[in-house]
Structure 1
């Protein structure tokens, strides 16, 4: 818990001191917080939304093998990972023809888990609080100060209007692409590398039977996908113009398009509980730190959702950051802190490349009115190689697994 530090506050402001202030209570922030607690390091988590809102946000659904083994190494897997093990099989359906591809690299140890983001967040929240963690929801008007000094300051307002101040050694910016952490960095201190893929997705959550395996479908009608989100719910994706509108997709049109693109005329429907259209884009900020502020997850990088790398990269960042802080606190060793950005970005660019490759492949291989017949045939050749070459399938599995030698140490 934070200690009293009243002399550092504005007049009349309560003030406290802690080692790390974590901004954001999504998968990245809560993983950082739990790993720090396991290391005996005090921290405070600030989240602008309510607990109910945060624990119901539905996004990613697969915790990849590397992240599962990371939680295992920290002794947290049984407490935070819900859902069944992923069986290691992906289905590609090309013009209605099924191809099963393994995403297991054959290494020993637990594999990926089918764990919806909201389940992971709920479990991380419960674990952190049960272990005595300090988590403050509805922390408003958060601002970061003195990031290049020895003791950064974080100010915020509680829901009842009380102003509070936290001083700390480090700030973990885990509040996403539109959070306050990255905007606290002076202009010009970070370089943004971005790519708009020119592709839109309609994403639909429905109370409908999940597929036997995560499914990616390619056809002349466009790309579609079907993923499990629990024993009785599914997440669907439909390629669409990036400037399309959700009201152009009534229920009947959604189910007709899914049955056509998935090559399954008998696909069972169900109540649609959520729908959204978004553009596929990729973004990397370099470096991922400024002074004593360390950007973690979406605050530093956005990955096209193909390959399921976004949340898993955030978990990788959180692991590296927590280890670096532990080394500094326990041994006054700054090596991990100095290398944080370089080590994270090496993994980020690797996953960006894989996600870009898969994005281009499944979209170019479908409707050639956008990509043209030349690129369409190139993409089809890549898929054929994936289905017929043991070496190509092995490389694909290695990239999907997400293993990294740097993350294999036991805490």
Structure 2
């Protein structure tokens, strides 16, 4: 039987609490399904600074290369000492260093959670390495230059290679869902850069004739999400647009604090909730682990396909089903209007996992 090695980077703020709750739930599910998982704790964030004077120590990066994947807690890079602030934050550094080109962010209505757009079930594929994010689009250095005290120039980078691979990832996902892809761009103004993105995505679309394709300008797309989120299936876009749209979509279906994501390439994936570290409530045992748990569900689905192991997908389904049942039963953390602590919420999920197997 394969033993899967999964890295655990607890991070800052509420990170250690929500990551611990996540690991607890998945340990319960893995035990029920009969899958061996080694959970490998690795320093990141303030813990990395404390041990190695680095928020993402080389020790951690090297150790991750020997894992099947990992979960990344939130980091509080805004509070790091200046010498660390000027560098890529841990999340950005991992995406860049390990070429995690696909940031996959679903937005789906959940039982017991109020959605301002009614029913919705979509997933955004955000190209993760280029676009208008100056900290990720250069081999060395950053894509911003301050020409004078009053003038700053920033770059956006778009390559056929990067667009092709995120487009293929999006279309492959669409083939498993409702077979519809929406390309988001601004080619009416940024004709060369996002024009290349649009054109290459349309070229890739020809290889998936069963998939219906449409496209929208980024500003119109934001309005369409608010008005009719339920009509969208898979959305593919560049880095910054994807970041903005996925935060919007997460809030529309309930809360950004519930929003999951994974960052992946062809061989490895990282689970990372979309929200921040919430340092103001750190240590109070009231943080909501839902986003982190659902991100890890996504990681299990990715690993199941990568390693052709349906048991991993079963683990994810067990946790997801038990989490949704807990929400439906009114067991919620403070941010959702409930009174369950982080650890109580995790315990409720584990109890429901056990109940599923008893029944």
Shorter-chain TM range is under 0.3
**Quick check: which one's helix share is greater?**
2
TM-score when normalising by structure 2: 0.27
Higher relative contact order (CA 8 A, sep 6+): 2
TM-score for both structures, normalised by structure 1: 0.25
In terms of Rg, which structure is larger? Answer: 1
